[in-house]
Chains A and B, each alone.
Chain A
Amino acid sequence: MQELRDLAKKLLLDKQVNAILGYEWDRRGARPAFITEAGDCDRLVFDHRCVQNLAAYLSPRRANIAQLGRLAVVIKACDARAVAGLIRENQLKREDLVLIGVRCGGVVVNPSDSEQLNAENIAPRCVGCEQREPTLADHLVGETQSAPVGKANRDLRLSEIEKLNPEERLSLWTSLLSQCTRCYACRQVCPMCFCERCIADKTQPAWIESSPHSRGNFSWHLTRALHLAGRCVDCGECERACPAGIPLGLLNHKVARIVASRYGYAVSDDPSRETPIGSYRLDDEQEFIA
């Protein structure tokens, strides 16, 4: 922790950056911190409760954050993938940011969860995560972490759903998605949802009905998952942010598995790696096309 604080202090004092975007404790666990004074750097923390993906704050659409000036950002490996995504999609320039990579051995689901990380409370997305530290970083801090161990198995849940017949699946999703009130927390916390005007807010024509009824919700969530195909960084923020508790991560995980199996693509923190949608191979599988 001291390593992180010292680094942050140095960056601020050397005027390499105007602000540090990191984590601090509040009443209810960890939360994002915006630190502009070197003296405040001792507020910075990092542990398994720092679940938020701070890359979401880097979208150029966040005018009030852009005003802070040059930023240093604390990123876990999964967050680095989002930063890479933003660079890849021309939202950020690598040279405009200082990236403080933190070594991570998995996080809990909610920042207010237990002070101990264990196999029960670890976020399901961290189980099987192979990246302990970002490659895309200017500095790396923290101790070497061991690979997270956990009991959750997202693939099992997917295969349970896949086993249902189409009608059962449709009613399952209709029922799950009927909970959605379109608060768009999923979209707002998503670092890769940076559109100036979301397709869901487009009214001429209204491809996606803005009403939170099953019909509109179905189109919205399917389309969002598709727009994230090959782009979702699996930070789990959408599902965590959903006040209705909809398992949105399942949709994203499903899509990630599709692009992995069809195009051998796994999301990476290398900004030069091309994403699968928007590119093609002449011999892409086309078994579904008559």
Chain B
Amino acid sequence: MSRIGVFICHCGENIGRTVDCARVAQSLGDLPGVVHSVDYKYMCSDPGQVLIKQAIQEKNLDGIVVGACSPHMHEKTFRKAAASAGLNPFLCEMANLREHCSWIHEDRELATEKAIALGRFIVEKIKYNRPLSTIYIPVERRALVIGGGIAGIQAALDIADGGRDVILVEKESSIGGHMSQLSETFPTLDCSQCILTPRMVEVAQHPRIKLLAYSEVESVDGYIGNFQVKIRRKARSVDETKCNGCGECQKNCPNKKIPSEFDQGLGTRTAIYVPFPQAVPNIPVIDRASCALFRGRAKGVKKVVCGKCAEVCGRNAVDFDQQDSFVTEKVGAIVVATGYQLYSIGKSQELDILRGYGEYGYGTIPDVIDGLQFERLASASGPTGGKILRPSDGKEPKKIVFLQCIGSRDPAKGIEYCSKICCMYVAKHTMLYHHKVHDGKAVVFYMDIRAGGKGYDEFVRRAIEESHALYLRGRVSRLSRDGDVIRVQGFDTLSGEPVVINADMVVLATAMRPQPGIAALAQKLSVSYDQHGFLNEAHPKLRPVETNTAGVFLAGACQSPRDIPDSVAMASATASKVLGLFSKELLEREPLIARVDRMTCTGCFHCERVCPYGAVERKTLTDSKGRIIKVIAEVNQGVCQGCGTCQATCPSKSVELDGFTDEQIYAAVNAI
């Protein structure tokens, strides 16, 4: 027979005003197994907690129910109080009489009745609570960082500087990410490469960082503190241990007309190439789709068509037969920093919801470009050497129209969210343009100017006041070619008039979207993502860099559109989370996890199929002579997060989720 104590809180007037707390206490006191039932003004106050502790000790209670606010508010408080009185904290539960009762009802009679019912559920449930103890799991104190943009670089450096080993995986042949493509950065207009390159070099030289460039995460197994990550090292066709980055191969490659991805198609590169001169590692890669030798091979041509690069390589580093290889790393934490891509506004989109902007003629009108292309035009290392020139004819544009919110904040054709950085970089573009083409005129079509951030609004004002950019509030309906100018038809909503501008060039500030393939990665990591593909943080305010998969953290634009300062701040935050996790050898976990009844488990493994975490393992039971009796499911305590989907799925109910066992739920339902 249970010895349960019930404690009903008035929460000042909050509960007491609509619920007759004394009657609730009395009514619950009459239930079988309840040996103590009182009400009190403030249960969470010190005297209130003393009341509970005394009752536990004096009445030798084996379970307590606190009828008060939401358990999300004070469950921890009361469980701590119970523990300090010697009662297992998991033998304390709360009935939510405030948020779920007194605050939402007016009729005192009905509210009191409901409060009694809610209390009854918990009293009956707690009769089946078991004492549970905290679970400890070992931690592998190395971290994996996925993505070598500024966020990944920062996270890797911070963790490594904190004294822990880091594996940094980058899918491109060099780290640096989008930041390496930028010309100058807002709001200080310092040169992007100048501040980034030293960080990249630091990564390459850090003794605690193992850089795996041109590599991708293949699979992730395990759980917080104990992940096993399989990484695909894509075939570079160049032996990294031999190459010294002399660049002879590039110079001699006959195929020089390949549009450069780094230059956003505005410049060219060779088939064997490093994407940009400051690349880290400074080791070339052969683009097998463009290389004559590989294309020949793909067509089945027996003859070796080319081989110039190998011929000129003094170190024999070029390896045409290199294959993808795999390495497996054991890590305790994972930082995801996969960054973003721009909304490609042409017609074909990989997502149905994105309809593209046919009216802007991107891809058909050569002088309609996107923001990242403008960065390359403005960049000293870019295809024009930093001169602003039209892609179509190489002339200097005298009038550039910038369109903001292309794809962003446009649920009909693009994405409803704000891409956050465009207002700022368009302002920056107008300034760079003004600096480089003094007689040029910049016109900006905007919806709102969102310049929250230190020095941000001042920056935009400077663009308007000092660089004389003309800001028109409104949208553009169509871009059309008119001879060698682009006719921009728009609407100025402040004057209420349609506007037609003949521009020499148009720059579209297109939306930021998560990287393609993010969903596949999220599934490997069991991290959820929103409808756009951005990874979900555990809590938007209080746990912004954690995910719901313990041990996996988010930095930068993989979580939502982020600018550089944000990304760096997030990266450092993840590093502090990782270092905090690594500060202990053993990890504590709440013990609300599933366990399998060996006697009745049939081994059908429906539980294995539904487990979102892969926490179900197969265990072979044998008799004393080693003969197999059966293969059953077993829950890995470290991996299980306690959702209970396995239990609802198990046909014979041979799985139990501690804290929410069938007997507990049955008892609550029985109390209806």
Contacts and interface: CB of A to CB of B under 8 A. Distances in A.
Direct contact of A and B (CB under 8 A): yes
Contact of B652 (A89, A202, A205): A202
A204 B631 contact: no
A207 interface: yes
Contacts of A278: 606, 609-610, 649
Contacts of A91: 602-604
B602 A194 contact: yes
B605 A197 contact: no
A132 interface: no
A195 B597 CA distance: 13
B153 interface: no
Given A197-B652, A199-B653, A278-B610, A205 B663 contact: yes
Contacts of A227: 651
A32 B625 CA distance: 34
A60 B654 CA distance: 17
B604 A90 contact: yes
Interface string B650-670: 011110000000110011000
A279 B609 contact: yes
B599 interface: yes
A63 to B, nearest CB: 11
A279 B609 CA distance: 7
Given A196-B599, A197-B599, A202 B653 contact: yes
A290 interface: no
Interface string B602-630: 11111001100000000000000000001
Interface string A117-131: 000000000000000
A172 to B, nearest CB: 27
B666 A207 contact: yes
Nearest to B651: A227
5 contacts: A194-B604, A199-B651, A202-B600, A202-B652, A207-B653
Report, as a range, how many residues of chain B touch the other chain.
20 to 34
A60 B601 CA distance: 13
A205 B603 contact: no
A204 B653 CA distance: 10
Contacts of B603: 90-91
B659 to A, nearest CB: 16
A224 to B, nearest CB: 9
Report, as a range, how many residues of chain A touch the other chain.
10 to 19
Given A197-B652, A199-B651, A278-B649, A89 B606 contact: yes
Contacts of B662: 205, 207
A47 B362 CA distance: 70
Given A90-B604, A91-B603, A204-B663, A195 B651 contact: yes
A198 interface: yes
B605 A90 contact: yes
A112 to B, nearest CB: 33
A207 B670 CA distance: 10
B610 A195 contact: no
Contacts of B651: 195, 199, 227
Nearest to B670: A205
Interface in A56-84: 60
Chain A interface mostly = loop
Residue among A194, A196, A197 with max Cβ neighbours from chain B (10 Å): A196
B643 to A, nearest CB: 14
Q: Which 6 A-B pairs have the closest CB atoms?
A: A205-B666, A197-B600, A195-B652, A89-B604, A278-B609, A196-B602
B666 A89 contact: no
Interface of B: 599-606, 609-610, 630-631, 649, 651-654, 662-663, 666-667
Nearest to A280: B610
Nearest to B664: A205
Contacts of B649: 277-278
A197 B651 CA distance: 9
Interface in A187-226: 194-199, 202, 204-205, 207
Interface in A153-208: 194-199, 202, 204-205, 207
A89 B599 contact: no
A199 B666 contact: no
Nearest to A60: B630
Contacts of A89: 604-606
Interface in A247-277: 274, 277
Nearest to A228: B651
A279 B599 CA distance: 26
Residue among B601, B609, B651 with max Cβ neighbours from chain A (10 Å): B651
A196 B609 contact: no
Interface string A9-35: 000000000000000000000000000
Contacts of A205: 662-663, 666-667
Contacts of B663: 204-205
A227 B604 CA distance: 12
Contacts of A195: 600, 602, 604, 651-652
Contact of A196 (B600, B610, B631, B667): B600
A225 to B, nearest CB: 12
Contacts of A194: 602, 604
Contacts of B609: 274, 278-279
B522 to A, nearest CB: 12
A90 B667 CA distance: 33
A274 B654 CA distance: 22
Nearest to B607: A278
Contacts of B667: 205
B481 to A, nearest CB: 40
Nearest to A205: B666
A89 B600 CA distance: 15
A265 to B, nearest CB: 15
A267 to B, nearest CB: 16
Interface string A92-118: 000000000000000000000000000
A196 B605 contact: no
B606 A197 contact: no
Nearest to A195: B652
A196 B631 CA distance: 12
Contacts of B604: 89-91, 194-195
Contacts of B630: 60
Contacts of B666: 205, 207
Given A60-B630, A91-B603, A197-B654, 12 more contacts: A89-B605, A90-B605, A194-B602, A194-B604, A195-B600, A197-B652, A199-B652, A199-B653, A205-B662, A205-B666, A277-B649, A278-B606
B236 to A, nearest CB: 35
Residue among B600, B604, B610, B662 with max Cβ neighbours from chain A (10 Å): B604
A207 B654 CA distance: 13
A90 B606 CA distance: 10
A103 to B, nearest CB: 30
A196 B653 CA distance: 11
A277 B645 CA distance: 12
A195 to B, nearest CB: 4
A277 B649 CA distance: 9
